[in-house]
Amino acid sequence: MIPQLKIAHMHPRLPIIQGGMAYSVSTGKLAAAVANAGGIGTIAGTGLTLQELSTEIQKARTLIKGTGYIGVNVLFAVKQFAELVLKAMQEKVDFIVSGAGFSRDMFAWSQEYGIPVIAIVSSARLAKLAEKLGAAAIVAEGKEAGGHLGTDRPLKEILPEVVAAVDIPVIAAGGLTTGKDIAEMIKLGASGAQLATRFVASEECEAHPKFKQMFLAAEQDDVTLINSPVGLPGRALRNRFTQLISQGAAPIKKCEQCLKRCNHTFCISDALKKSVSGDTDNGLVFAGESVNKIKEILPVREIMDRLALDLDACLQSP
């Protein structure tokens, strides 16, 4: 039987969370589709104005049929972190999840607004700290994940350590694409799984068709690591732009001062905006390590149904 995931007031039919993907890769439309299919959807706040974030939240709400849970992910590294988190809390989303770090403040806001906070971490030490500060759940993310990375260790190593360190639900993330992958994580003590790369190749993901096509065409050695100006490594697909970054030759045309701290090696905001709107040669295409296993674009409902069938079958086999 598929175990019931419970995080604060949320008890989705399936223990599957769609990970937040910045610069409008995960919008209200995708999050609502995941929520309607029995999982938990995440709108990425990073890269949106406060007005745009409100619009995405409203859009998701109008698309959700019945009970469906949606939250907002904001990268801790962005200057607008506090404003975006507070806006989402005022809009009464079901949860907030912070990427690549967290602040003490957000737990105080969580208390004030009554909105649960989920922290993404890559170590037992940070999981413990987040629990102590008041996190409702932990996403334990391994090096296989797409986007910014907090570790070079595989998920299978990190997960049991995090599970042993905390008493709150632990969600496994990084490189999971099938129900079998999720079952393996549940057997290692996870209460659920967060998937992102799999949901890019969905009909409801609003990234440009060229962005999605790059996912479908990717082979294992098309996945690379870059040094992000945020000060962390990032997992992305090899293209003309990653080549330029590795040569230290990616030009910065105009600084939007979007980050709290930026090492100005290239403009991450410009690079992510370009790729999601279709300029996949000159933009940065974040993707997880298992992207090569995804070969078709499907409706979210079908992705979720297949994951559930496979997960159920794998949990029943010894």
Ligand X SMILES: Cc1cc2nc3c(=O)[nH]c(=O)nc-3n(C[C@H](O)[C@H](O)[C@H](O)COP(=O)(O)O)c2cc1C
Q: Which residues bind ligand X (CB under 6 A)?
A: 19-22, 25, 44, 46, 73, 75, 99, 120, 141, 144-147, 173-176, 194-198, 286-288, 290
The distance of closest approach from Cβ of residue 65 to ligand X in the complex, given in angstroms and rounded to an integer, is 24
Is the CB of 169 or the CB of 174 nearer to ligand X? 174
Q: Which residue has the tokens 């079958």?
A: 313
When the beta carbons of 166 and 185 are compared against ligand X, the nearer one is 185
CB of 167 to ligand X, least distance (A): 22
Give the residue nearest to ligand X (CB): 99
Please state, in angstroms and rounded to a whole number, the distance separating the CA atoms of residues 85 and 255. Answer: 23
C-beta of 8 vs 148, nearer to ligand X: 148
The smaller minimum CB distance to ligand X, of residues 141 and 270, is found at: 141
Q: Determine the Cα–Cα distance for residues 239 and 19; give it in Å rounded to an integer.
A: 24
Strands 137-141 and 95-99 turn out to be: unpaired
> At CA 51, angle to CA 48 and CA 53, rounded to 5?
50
Q: How far apart are CA 288 and CA 197, in angstroms?
A: 6
Pick the closer one to ligand X by CB: 36 or 275. Answer: 275
Q: Which residue is it, tokens 């040094």?
A: 227
**Closest approach of Cβ 95 to ligand X, in Å?**
13
* Shortest distance (Å) from residue 178 CB to ligand X: 11
The minimum distance between CB 66 and ligand X, in angstroms, equals 25
CB of 301 to ligand X, least distance (A): 18
CB nearer to ligand X: pick between 1 and 116: 116
